[in-house]
Amino acid sequence: MDMNVLPELGTFLDPLALAIVGGGVVAGTVLRNASGDLARGVVALGQLPRRRFDVEPLVAQVSALGRIARRHGVIALDRSKIEDPDIAVAVAAIVDGASAKDVETLLEQRRCARFERHRGGWEVWSGAAELAPAMGMVGTLIGLVGMFAAMKDPQAIGGAMAVALLATLYGALLANLALLPVATRLKRRARHEAQERLRLQPALATLAGIEPGSGTLKEIAA
């Protein structure tokens, strides 16, 4: 393949087309989302390089808490150091005398609330992915208007045509190679965590029913 027939990289750079597409996506995203969702969307980017949520250490911790409760009663759990917020809230409720059903309900509410927060973050990026091609079309229309307005000036026609074509290109690339992949990955991570946290509910519900001398905890580590 003759590389000389390919246009230079600079040919694909147009500041006006970039400004139309990039500025339009940013403005549209800000206008259509609440400030809290915008913040969550930005913060969520920090999760992408990290490993996916792993529930196994938490299941092991609940199992250890169960052994403590069996030996000393659930009141002894009040002195345990717990970093995971869901387990901490559930254990606090258990120490206060919450039933197994109450604990399951509490955890389900927190799981759903967390998923909705994550949803707000990924929908920021999926919404931006929807806007990018539309802003590319806006840039195309602006370029065409400029081209028709400068029919008597051949040099101006070339610049306007470049805006018209490159704006569509920028919109397609931005949506499909950046924004949509980010939204998809965030959605998958949120769904994975929500699914994994389901495993904590029966374990902590069993913990709520433990009394001193109640026997082994077969269900805690399930």
- Residue 23's alpha-carbon distances to 59, 170, 179, in angstroms, are 46, 12, 14
**Cα gap 83→193, rounded to integer Å:** 16
Residue with tokens 């026997």: 215
Per-residue pLDDT of the chain in tens (222 residues, 90 and over written 9): 444 545 677 778 889 999 999 999 999 999 999 999 999 999 999 989 999 999 999 999 999 999 999 888 888 888 888 999 999 999 999 999 889 999 999 999 999 999 999 999 999 999 999 999 999 999 999 999 988 887 777 777 888 888 999 999 999 999 999 999 999 999 999 999 999 999 999 999 999 887 644 444 344 434
Q: Could you tell me how far CA 69 lies from the centroid of its own chain?
A: 36
Q: Is the Cβ–Cβ distance between 87 and 57 less than 8 Å?
A: no
The SS3 call for residue 188 is: helix
CA nearest 21: which of 165, 146, 138?
Answer: 138
- Residue 15's alpha-carbon distances to 8, 29, 135, 166, in angstroms, are 16, 21, 14, 10
pTM (two decimals) = 0.82
